[in-house]
Amino acid sequence: MHFEHRVGNIYAVSADGADLIKITQNNKLREQQLSVFDSKGELPKIAYTGSLRYGTISAQIPSGDIFIINADGSGNKKLTDFQIGPSVPSISPDGKSVAFLFSEYDENMTGVQANFVMIYNLEKGTLEKISAEGYLISVAGWVKTK
């Protein structure tokens, strides 16, 4: 199954192009920046950034809140409540956490003052800020350290 976002919504389609399914239904959000966790025997899960739409386009700031949803559209859950800042989610290889970039904007929302990584633990429902040095532009993925 292939997942993509079109006109701000997430769709799934089989490899042969049949069975197009609209997964997200929120017309106030532009769902983008997908990360898919495909666990054998369970529905795939999709983490995504939901940025607020203004008219027919999203804000110029490419961030919103982080959500997770099952591939059939059930279980849609908002993980953060910032509206602006979170972006580029990445589901951990075990499917238990979602890391994402958090951009801290200045008071006029015209420039990023700092970027860091945050991790949402799906089992505990907790959010942890991971400090980082330098200027991050993305969360590339997960690396096993031990």
Q: Write the pLDDT tens digit of every residue in 57-79.
A: 445 566 789 999 998 899 999 99
Residue entry with tokens 């386009």: 57
Task: Measure CA of the first residue to CA of the last residue in the chain; give whole Å.
Answer: 32
Q: What is the 3-state secondary structure (H, E, C) of 43-68?
A: CCEEEEEEEEEECCEECCCCCCEEEE
Query: Would you place residue 140 in the very low, low, confident or very high pLDDT band (cuts 50, 70, 90)?
Result: low
Q: How far apart are CA 36 and CA 118, in angstroms?
A: 18
Higher confidence at residue 87 or residue 2? Answer: 87
Tokens of 45: 């899960």
